[in-house]
């Protein structure tokens, strides 16, 4: 029996993880859950899964929950609860499905405690990859990526030698606005941006997919997860989203991972690794798919991808600054304060003003993030 903690259990990945766990009650047991404020979903999950501990990070939501008196369940409130849950003594696997760089501390906490970390929170790798890898090395903990592209690469690398890898090829669907010009993109609405053609995801990542920032964050994530220089990571647009990513080896062989566009497949693999379990879906019908096409990403009209590459080239605190500015800009777009094309403008401005020092530790990183967020908010307000 594997005991599992789900951080961010009311979000899209969290709910799909619960779906997988419920299919295998003999293999998986949920011991801990965390939500920000969605008490309704949490209550349903408590009834179904009977966890030992729950964390609610939003204080007001926690108060209304506490009034209800759940016997035998430990309830923790505030952001510290996430770190406690990530290191929970009864857990074997911690699935981190938090949204944004708020997930970094939980990632570090799970690794320090030697857990198997099923990582869906890409921002923790983007912001703190160097620090995350340092802690992982020290503790000997394991990270299994949940993000479909990285899960695909992870699977392609099973049984392979890292020195023989020539490059990683990350596929991108191109998002809902593929083929549009920058001028055209100025007037797209929040509703249009939220309608992703292939994947069902939460709002933050769906906007990131529309700007191509999601792919940029994934390049940075891959750089740290697989310890690959960014020069050896390519992005190709693949609108059918059937090939989830590829690895090229030095003999010219390319291994690809294909599958349906359903996050439950990588989630299940992350939980069952190194074993495989029966699929929750019918088989992929390649005759129906018929065609797999590939094209170059359009960085001229979608500058976020270029900015992400630029941040990793500059290194140090730049990826964390890029990520923090992006989180603020996406939030402002979702609240209809700025236009779609202002998102890259905000990020570029904040990145250009950032001055990184030579040292890098968690304190320096969090300070750079704090600065980037407040500067991004100013740029948004002035715009
Ligand atoms: Mg992905």
Question: pLDDT tens digit string along 240-251?
Answer: 999 999 999 999
- The average pLDDT across 354-376 equals 95
Is residue 142 domain-shared with residue 275, that is, in the same domain? no
What CATH code is carried by the domain that includes residue 100? 3.40.50.720
Residue 19 phi/psi, 5° resolution? -60, -45
Where among 146, 162, 187 does a domain terminate? 146
**Choice between 70 and 6, residue whose per-residue pLDDT is larger:** 6
What is the DSSP code (8-state) at residue 79?
Answer: T
CA of 173 to the centre of ligand 1 (A): 10
Where among 284, 314, 344 does a domain terminate? 314
What pTM was computed for the model? 0.95
Residue 156 domain flag: yes
Is residue 284 domain-shared with residue 178, that is, in the same domain? yes
The pLDDT confidence band at residue 19, using thresholds 50, 70 and 90, is: very high
The pLDDT confidence band at residue 383, using thresholds 50, 70 and 90, is: confident
Where among 283, 314, 345 does a domain terminate? 314
Is the pLDDT confidence value at 63 over 90?
Answer: no
Residue 325 domain flag: no
Burial of 219 (0-12, 13-18, 19+ CB in 10 A): buried
CA 68/CA 47 separation, integer angstroms: 13
CA of 59 to the centre of ligand 1 (A): 31
- The average pLDDT across 29-48 equals 96
Q: Which whole-number Å values give the CA distances from 34 to 4, 42, 51, 90, in the listed order?
A: 12, 8, 10, 15
Is residue 197 domain-shared with residue 64, that is, in the same domain? no
Is residue 119 domain-shared with residue 164, that is, in the same domain? no
Is residue 156 domain-shared with residue 129, that is, in the same domain? no
Is residue 94 domain-shared with residue 182, that is, in the same domain? no
Is the pLDDT confidence value at 123 over 80?
Answer: yes
Residue 118 contacts residue 96 (beta carbons within 8 Å): yes
Count Cα neighbours of 140 within 13 Å in the Cβ-side half-sphere. Answer: 0
Q: What are the tokens at 132? A: 């995350």
* Polymer length in residues for the chain: 383
Residue 135 domain flag: yes
**Choice between 72 and 266, residue whose per-residue pLDDT is larger:** 266
Give the pLDDT confidence score for residue 215 in this predicted structure: 97
CA 148/CA 109 separation, integer angstroms: 23
Give the pLDDT confidence score for residue 188 in this predicted structure: 95
**Helix residue spans in 238-361 (DSSP H):** 264-272, 286-289, 303-314, 318-334, 342-353
Least confident window among 174-188, 190-204, 218-232, 340-354: 190-204
Is residue 72 domain-shared with residue 27, that is, in the same domain? yes
Residue 226 domain flag: yes
CA of 147 to the centre of ligand 1 (A): 5
Is residue 218 domain-shared with residue 136, that is, in the same domain? no
CA 141/CA 130 separation, integer angstroms: 15
CA of 218 to the centre of ligand 1 (A): 7
Is the pLDDT confidence value at 268 over 90?
Answer: yes
- The average pLDDT across 178-196 equals 93
Task: Provide the domain limits for residue 174.
Answer: 151-314
CA 129/CA 38 separation, integer angstroms: 29
CA of 241 to the centre of ligand 1 (A): 10
Question: Is the peptide bond preceding residue 350 cis, with omega within 30 degrees of 0?
Answer: no
The pLDDT confidence band at residue 67, using thresholds 50, 70 and 90, is: confident
CA of 359 to the centre of ligand 1 (A): 30
CA of 93 to the centre of ligand 1 (A): 21
- The average pLDDT across 368-380 equals 98
The pLDDT confidence band at residue 341, using thresholds 50, 70 and 90, is: very high
CA of 8 to the centre of ligand 1 (A): 17
The pLDDT confidence band at residue 17, using thresholds 50, 70 and 90, is: very high
CA of 60 to the centre of ligand 1 (A): 32
Mean of the per-residue pLDDT values of the chain:
95
Give the pLDDT confidence score for residue 144 in this predicted structure: 98
Q: Shortest CA distance to 50 belongs to which of 14, 23, 18?
A: 18
Residue 45 domain flag: yes
Domain tally, the chain: 2
Is residue 127 domain-shared with residue 50, that is, in the same domain? yes
Is residue 164 domain-shared with residue 106, that is, in the same domain? no
Residue 365 domain flag: no
Residue 344 domain flag: no
SS3 label, residue 295? strand
- The average pLDDT across 68-77 equals 86
Is residue 137 domain-shared with residue 235, that is, in the same domain? no
Is residue 10 domain-shared with residue 112, that is, in the same domain? yes
Residue 281 domain flag: yes
């Amino acid at each position: 029996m594997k005991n599992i903690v789900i951080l961010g259990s009311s979000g899209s990945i969290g709910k799909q993880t619960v779906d997988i766990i419920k299919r295998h009650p003999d293999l998986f047991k949920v011991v801990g859950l965390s939500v920000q404020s969605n008490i309704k979903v949490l209550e349903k999950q408590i009834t179904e899964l009977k966890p030992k501990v729950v964390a609610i990070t939003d204080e007001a939501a926690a108060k209304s929950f506490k009034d209800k008196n759940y016997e035998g369940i430990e309830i923790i409130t505030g952001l510290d609860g996430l770190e406690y849950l990530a290191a929970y003594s009864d857990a074997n696997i911690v699935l981190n499905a938090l949204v944004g760089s708020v997930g970094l501390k939980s990632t570090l906490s799970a690794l320090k405690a030697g857990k198997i970390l099923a990582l869906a929170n890409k921002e923790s790798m983007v912001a703190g990859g160097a620090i995350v890898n340092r802690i992982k090395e020290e503790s000997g903990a394991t990270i299994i990526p949940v993000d479909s592209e990285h899960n695909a690469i992870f699977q392609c690398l099973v049984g392979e030698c890292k020195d023989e890898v020539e490059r990683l090829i990350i596929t991108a669907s191109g998002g809902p606005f593929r083929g549009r010009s920058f001028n055209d993109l100025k007037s797209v609405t929040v509703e249009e941006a939220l309608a992703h053609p292939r994947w069902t995801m939460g709002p933050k990542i769906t906007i990131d997919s529309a700007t191509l920032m999601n792919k940029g964050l994934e390049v940075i994530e891959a750089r740290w997860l697989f310890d690959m220089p960014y020069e050896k990571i390519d992005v190709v647009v693949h609108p059918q989203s059937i090939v989830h990513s590829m690895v090229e080896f030095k003999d010219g062989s390319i291994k690809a991972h294909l599958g349906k566009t359903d996050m439950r497949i990588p989630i299940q693999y992350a939980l069952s690794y190194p074993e495989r379990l029966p699929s929750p879906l019918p088989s992929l019908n390649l005759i129906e798919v018929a065609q797999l096409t590939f094209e170059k990403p359009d960085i001229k009209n979608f500058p976020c991808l270029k900015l992400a590459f630029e941040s990793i080239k500059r290194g140090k605190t730049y990826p964390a600054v890029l990520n923090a500015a992006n989180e603020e800009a996406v939030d402002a777009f979702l609240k209809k304060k700025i236009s779609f094309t202002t998102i890259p403008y905000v990020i570029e401005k904040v990145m250009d003003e950032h001055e990184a020092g030579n040292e890098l530790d968690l304190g320096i990183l969090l300070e750079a993030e704090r600065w980037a967020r407040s500067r991004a908010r100013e740029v948004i307000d002035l715009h």
